[in-house]
Chains A and B, each alone.
Chain A
Amino acid sequence: MKEIKFENVRKVYGDTEVVKDLNFTVREGERLILLGPSGCGKSTILRMIAGLEEITSGNLYMNGQRVNDTPSGKRNVSMVFQNYALYPHMTVKQNIMYALKVKKIEKKEIERRFDFVLEMLQLRGYENRLPKQLSGGQRQRVALARATVNRSDFFLLDEPLSNLDAQLRVSARKELMKIHEMFGQTIVYVTHDQIEATTFADRIVLMYNGELQMIDTPDNVYHRPANVFTAKFIGSPPTNILNIEYDHGAVRIGSQSFLLNEIWKDYVNQTGTNKLLFGIRPEHIELSPVSAQKGVRGQVKYIENQGNNYGVYINVEGQEIIAMSESKNWTDGQDVYVCPVMEKIHFFDKDTERNIGYPQGLEMKDGITYSNERKVNV
């Protein structure tokens, strides 16, 4: 059982609680991504798994055993650091083999593993170079190679790609995937980059301020955000969160309003609350220059070229809405009608900022049905 379980884990530095009451399980063989803005506690969590950081209270289980007091070296983990942590005075070969030699693994086996990883990560020809004689991408691969040859059950990565340029990241991700397919380690991977997270993860743990915000698949994190923070953090530009008044199927923004469809109307009515926030992603808004029934009117403030699309910033009754548009034929000050796609809207409780959930049978245009369970862990 190569799983990792956090049970009421807390971490306190002096007066600051950097990790608050954490409960979740990393499943055997999965690729779990710890995602969040800097200072959210994600690296601390990783370092607690590695045993490099003491656990203030709570229990951490690995392989079913409590490991709070187990030293790093006995946890069967390998780690790739953001700065790669290659020994600067050792060659590529020495870096990769050092730990194996110390562990007194048979010489033939060491050579076999070394050859294998050298081939897989295309490091042949660089065996006798020092880290400073390698490019950033090569160093990163050496760090991966060094962590791989250990054949550990748990593979920890702390922002491993953040020092690489965009192209190298793509290939490095592929290599990571390859390693994972080959050895099936349980991977915990820290990043602040959501693209990296969604492309690589089986599941994402989203952290903020030391608190777990949501743990779920990348699809659910995007389409079924557990709370306002998740909705805003995932996706770029962020989800629009609007202050609204809800009144029996009508969503009122300032003096205007639009109507929900029947499924949503029944669902929201049945929750019995009307203190709500309304969420809609910029890419799920249809813009129309002429009056539309399902929308509200606003004025274009400015347009941002996003490369393949245009982000249109719109003022609706004093609230700002960003919408994506394929056209750039909008002029500042122009009236525009904002129509949210009904299948893609979200409601959040105004006080708790939690998602109130989704009605059954919400037809998705992409044909995928998303989990309707609330995956919030708080």
Chain B
Amino acid sequence: MKINRRVENVWHLIFIITILIMILPVIYAIGMSFKPLHDAYNNVLNIIPIHATLENYITLFDTLPIFRITWNTFIVATVATIFKLITAFLAAYAFVYFSFKGKEILYFLLIGTIFIPFTVTMIPNYLIISNLGMLDNVWGVILPQLADAVGIFLIRQSMKNIPLSLIEVARLDNMSHGRIMKDIVLPLVRPAITSVGIWFFISTWNEFVWPVLILKTTENFTLPLALQMFISSEGGTNFTVAMAVSVITMIIPLILYLSFQKYIIGTFTSSGIK
């Protein structure tokens, strides 16, 4: 059956409009962050600034400990990502290559946590972190995020695609599990680990809900929290500075996404749920 050209063109139009709606604001934000404030108010529709300036960024560096805040965000995202990957890799290995009592139930319980709303665990977790003296501390943000059910799920899917006979050959050669993990399984699931890792990193980088409960003072903030300060003062006077913070918040996720885009989409498309 031939697909009607006109139908196809209508769809192209729909996609282009949708993508404009989604992407244009991001480009807008970048443009705005280089506009002087009066320009931003008077030439609203100009995406590219007429009088480009760095003054918003300068103001930002003057008023906020932005290096410290970026560093906090980086630490939270990196530590959480590394731990999530390790715990997920080990758990996935256990679920794929071992048969033990209660395996199915355990898997179901862990994956089931995806469907628990965070408010159900929010108060007790806050109390735990508070009792550990980790309130207003990035480690309090990190601690409950050292394991991740989606990670277990995705890495397990990827491991299941390795032919079992590869592992069996290794077992026949008396390889230890440590060696099998390091020399065989890890290299073969590396693409999945990379994209899941990038996904974890970016989600934690962007995280808002949990840090907002834990972090109180500006020095300890992560970028999304810092950004929120500009909104609570009703946008207004600091609007272009807010855009500069937005740009700083977006830049690392965007670079990661644009450089690993094919990889990431590949992992999500090949190891998705069937």
Contact = CB atoms under 8 A, between A and B. Distances in A.
A147 B171 CA distance: 13
B172 A79 contact: yes
Interface string A120-133: 00000000000000
Interface stretch (A58-66, A81-89, A174-182, A206-214): A81-89
A102 B173 contact: yes
Contacts of A88: 188
Contact of A79 (B163, B168, B184): B168
A72 B188 contact: no
Interface string A200-229: 000000000000000000000000000000
A73 B165 contact: no
B94 interface: no
Nearest to B169: A85
B147 to A, nearest CB: 27
A69 to B, nearest CB: 15
B179 interface: yes
Given A79-B169, A146-B169, 16 more contacts: A52-B171, A52-B172, A71-B174, A72-B168, A73-B171, A75-B172, A81-B165, A85-B163, A85-B168, A87-B166, A98-B173, A102-B174, A102-B175, A102-B179, A103-B173, A150-B173
Contacts of A52: 168, 171-172
B184 A87 contact: yes
Contacts of A89: 187-188
14 contacts: A52-B168, A73-B173, A77-B172, A81-B165, A81-B169, A83-B165, A85-B163, A85-B166, A85-B168, A88-B188, A89-B187, A99-B173, A102-B173, A150-B173
A88 B187 CA distance: 10
A74 B173 CA distance: 8
Given A72-B168, A88-B188, A103 B174 contact: yes
A88 B174 CA distance: 19
B104 interface: no
A247 to B, nearest CB: 57
B163 A83 contact: yes
A253 B166 CA distance: 56
A98 B168 contact: no
Interface of A: 50-52, 71-75, 77-79, 81-83, 85, 87-89, 98-99, 102-103, 146, 150
B173 A50 contact: no
B143 to A, nearest CB: 35
B172 A72 contact: yes
Interface string B176-188: 0001000110011
A348 to B, nearest CB: 40
A74 B168 contact: no
Contacts, number: 54
B188 A50 contact: no
B167 to A, nearest CB: 9
Q: Is chain A's interface secondary structure helix, strand, loop, or mixed overall?
A: loop
Contacts of A99: 170, 173, 175
Contacts of A74: 174
Contacts of A85: 163, 165-166, 168-169
Nearest to B183: A98
A50 B174 contact: no
Contacts of B175: 73, 99, 102
Contacts of B174: 71-74, 102-103
A71 B179 CA distance: 16
A22 B230 CA distance: 78
Nearest to B174: A73
Contacts of B171: 51-52, 71-73
Contacts of A103: 173-174
Interface string B148-172: 0000000000000001011011111
Nearest to A54: B99
A52 B184 CA distance: 18
Contacts of B163: 83, 85
A357 to B, nearest CB: 42
Nearest to B171: A72
A81 B179 contact: no
Nearest to A78: B172
Contact of B168 (A50, A75, A87, A146): A50
Contacts of A75: 172
A73 B172 contact: yes
B60 to A, nearest CB: 46
Contacts of B173: 73, 98-99, 102-103, 150
A102 B176 CA distance: 10
A73 B169 CA distance: 9
A75 B172 CA distance: 8
B185 to A, nearest CB: 11
Contacts of A98: 173, 183
A246 to B, nearest CB: 51
A139 to B, nearest CB: 13
A83 B165 CA distance: 8
A242 B18 CA distance: 75
Nearest to A85: B165
Contacts of A50: 168, 172
B187 A81 contact: no
Contacts of B188: 88-89
A52 to B, nearest CB: 5
B69 to A, nearest CB: 40
B65 to A, nearest CB: 45
A102 B183 CA distance: 11
A50 B173 CA distance: 11
Contacts of A72: 168, 171-172, 174
A85 B179 CA distance: 17
